[in-house]
Amino acid sequence: MQRLEASIRNIPDFPKPGIQFKDITPLVKDPAMLKLTVHQLIQPFLGLKLNAVVGMEARGFIFGSLAAWELGIGFVPLRKPGKLPYDVQSVSYDLEYGSAELEVHNDALNSNDRVLLVDDLIATGGTAIASCQLIEKLGAEIVACAFVIELDELKGREKLSQYRIHSLIHY
């Protein structure tokens, strides 16, 4: 876990003053660290019945699709507005820096689906709770949410108190 932490780069004041940006690009470039991260992300869920991983644009796509591959299940992308070509459901939410919107294809999930939500980082939890709402709008069940990084002081976990949360590195 210390090696994992060492492969995450801190960028002060990005994308605006006061934000300590956690840059995961050195981690994903290192094959051993990437493998370790994906294995640790899915480890608590190996025995559970899951049939989709949902990941948020853009860094959730990296870890989410690898997690889906390892679990042998499908991947569903939540995308920024205007990117998905078919009928969508959307949700708006606040970020640590600004506000945003996410969309999902209407037919991407249904009430038979049991989902693992994956993103690189949880800060305020706004993105994750909005994503959970979007998934639940389609009738699917959220079994757990997994993050590589959790920024503890922003208390995102409290917003997600009704869900099972798994994070690898805490700051």
For the chain, list the strands marked E by DSSP: 9-12, 20-23, 52-56, 74-78, 88-95, 98-105, 114-122, 141-150, 165-170
Annotated catalytic residue, options 59, 79, 150, 157:
59
Minimum gap (Å) between residue 152 Cβ and ligand AMP: 12
> Alpha helix locations (H) across 19-137?
25-29, 31-42, 59-71, 126-137
How far CA 6 is from CA of 14, 52, 133, in Å, comes to: 19, 30, 33
Answer for which of 126, 142, 144, 148 binds ligand AMP (CB under 6 A) is: 126
Which of 10/110 has CB closer to ligand AMP? 10
Pairwise CA distance, residues 83 & 97, whole Å:
22
Q: Among residues 28, 43, 9, which one has the least CA distance to residue 168? A: 43
Answer for which of 7, 127, 131, 167 binds ligand AMP (CB under 6 A) is: 127
59 annotated active-site: yes
Annotated catalytic residue, options 70, 96, 114, 164:
96
Measured from the Cβ of residue 164, the count of other Cβ atoms closer than 10 Å reads 14
Binding region for ligand AMP (CB under 6 A) out of 36-44, 45-53, 115-123, 162-170: 115-123
Q: Does 59 bind ligand AMP (CB under 6 A)?
A: yes
Q: Does 96 bind ligand AMP (CB under 6 A)?
A: yes
96 annotated active-site: yes
Minimum gap (Å) between residue 20 Cβ and ligand AMP: 6
Q: Does 20 bind ligand AMP (CB under 6 A)?
A: yes
For the chain, what is the radius of gyration of the CA atoms?
A: 15
Q: Which residues bind ligand AMP (CB under 6 A)?
A: 19-22, 56, 59, 95-96, 119-128, 156
